């Protein structure tokens, strides 16, 4: 079982200005008006781009498969809302490079009509392999920024006999509070997602590391995890880059990942709290990955907030610069 006596002192790191107070106490906004067009990149994950299975002019439903994965390191893409496929073409990537990337454009119809879903009421009665298959089909990728297909990590857990799943709730970057708010508002769903991940990985225990500048998130996550002896929620020091996997691994487990090695080499594997929530939605509700909670903050922002946004939503309604 989990031995928290192994917790180590932090080496290095900086105390960056947090700038989180503008949004850390505001509820997640979920009623964003639906954009008239959604631009869904086919390369929004590590690995090969997804391949379209729809055609221009075809009507699609929310949650419907738009493009299937190609190979082991790839993830499918689904429709964030119902509407008509208006285009499949090269558009600037949602990346600082703005390089052209193949994109499916959906002209939304405002109905937000769902495709039939296949929820699982008792995932723990299913084979671990089935959990991985469903997570892969839902297009869940690492929501902490790495965007690595989550099912690949679940499979690695079984193959490498991982003894501890680490859940990253650090969110050490300035301004960002999207994971903080997610933990405050949806802690039970996150813990359920962690339990599902443990089952899919055939791993006995999990540790959730949350920086100590998030006291409300820590309390709510600890309360949600209380019935489960194999899941512990632990405070970690607020210091950048505590969200870095190797820093968090050393602090929570006492193990150091050697240069040139992977976390799996020391028996641990890490996921983000938002990834655990996405897996909960994928299995319990049958919903593919369709949205992302985003922090909008800073000195130039009139109304700072955390907002749940359908994938493919442009930052600005002005698309005159889009070819």
Following DSSP, what letter does each residue of 221-285 receive, concatenated? HHHHHTT-TTEEEEEE---BTTTSHHHHHHHHHS--PPTT--GGGGTEEEEEHHHHHHHHIIIII
Q: Tell the residue number behind the tokens 């002192």, with chain if given.
A: 9
Contact between residue 219 and residue 255 where contact means Cβ atoms under 8 Å apart: no
pLDDT in tens, 210-234: 999 999 999 999 999 999 999 999 9
Contacts of 259 (CB under 8 A, 6+ apart): none
Under 8 Å between Cβ of 220 and 191 = no
Domains observed in the chain: 4-27+124-285 (3.40.50.11540), 37-111 (2.40.50.100)
What's the confidence (pLDDT) of residue 9? 57
Mean pLDDT (whole number) for 262-277: 92
Cβ neighbours for 121, distance < 8 A, ≥ 6 positions apart: 284
Which has more pLDDT, 259 or 177?
177
- How many angstroms separate the CA atoms of 149 and 159, rounded? 16
Please give the C-alpha separations between residue 27 and each of 1, 22, 24, 65, 306, in angstroms, as whole numbers. 35, 12, 8, 31, 7
133 and 155 Cβ atoms separated by less than 8 Å = no
**Does residue 323 carry a pLDDT above 50?**
no
Comparing 81 with 172, the larger pLDDT belongs to 81
Largest Cα span, the chain: 60
For 280-306, the pLDDT digits (tens) are 999 999 999 999 999 999 999 999 999
* Residue 41 reports pLDDT greater than 80: yes
pLDDT at 321: 38
Q: Phi then psi for 140, rounded to 5 degrees? A: -75, 130
Whether the upstream peptide bond of residue 263 has omega within 30° of 0, thus cis, is no
R_g of the chain computed on alpha carbons: 20
* Per-residue confidence band for 51, with pLDDT thresholds at 50, 70 and 90: very high
Under the banding of pLDDT at 50, 70 and 90, the label for residue 246 is: confident
- Residue 88: name the closest of 60, 61, 52, 59 by CA: 52
Chain segment 153-167, per-residue pLDDT in tens: 899 888 888 999 999
Beta pairing partners, 306: 295
């Amino acid at each position: 079982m989990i031995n928290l006596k192994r917790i180590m002192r932090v080496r290095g790191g900086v105390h960056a200005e947090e700038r989180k107070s503008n949004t850390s106490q505001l509820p997640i906004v979920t009623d964003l008006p639906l954009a008239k067009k959604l631009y869904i990149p086919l390369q929004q994950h590590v690995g090969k781009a997804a391949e379209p299975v729809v055609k221009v002019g075809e009507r699609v439903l929310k949650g419907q498969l738009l493009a299937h994965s190609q190979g082991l390191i790839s993830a499918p893409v689904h429709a964030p809302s119902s509407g008509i496929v208006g285009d499949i073409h090269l558009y600037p990537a949602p990346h600082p490079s703005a390089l052209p990337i193949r994109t499916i454009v959906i002209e939304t119809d405002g109905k937000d009509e769902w495709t039939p879903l296949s929820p699982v009421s008792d995932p723990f009665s299913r084979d671990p392999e089935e959990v991985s298959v469903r997570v892969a089909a839902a297009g869940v990728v690492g929501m902490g920024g790495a965007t690595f297909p989550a099912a690949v990590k679940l499979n690695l857990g079984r193959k490498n006999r991982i003894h501890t799943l680490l859940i990253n709730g650090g969110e050490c970057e300035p301004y960002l509070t999207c994971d903080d708010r997610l933990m405050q508002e949806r802690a039970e769903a996150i813990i359920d997602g962690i339990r599902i991940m443990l089952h899919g990985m055939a791993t006995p225990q999990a540790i959730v590391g949350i920086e100590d500048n998030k006291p409300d998130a820590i309390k709510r996550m600890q309360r949600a995890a209380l019935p489960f002896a194999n899941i512990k929620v632990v405070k970690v020091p607020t210091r950048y880059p505590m969200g870095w996997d190797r820093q968090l691994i050393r602090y929570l487990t006492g193990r150091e990942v050697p240069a040139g090695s992977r976390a799996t080499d020391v028996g641990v594997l890490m996921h983000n709290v938002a990834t655990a929530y996405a897996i909960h939605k994928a299995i319990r509700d049958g919903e593919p990955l369709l949205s992302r909670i985003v922090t909008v903050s800073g000195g130039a922002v009139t109304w700072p907030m955390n907002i749940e946004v359908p994938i493919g939503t442009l930052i600005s309604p002005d698309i005159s610069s889009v070819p």
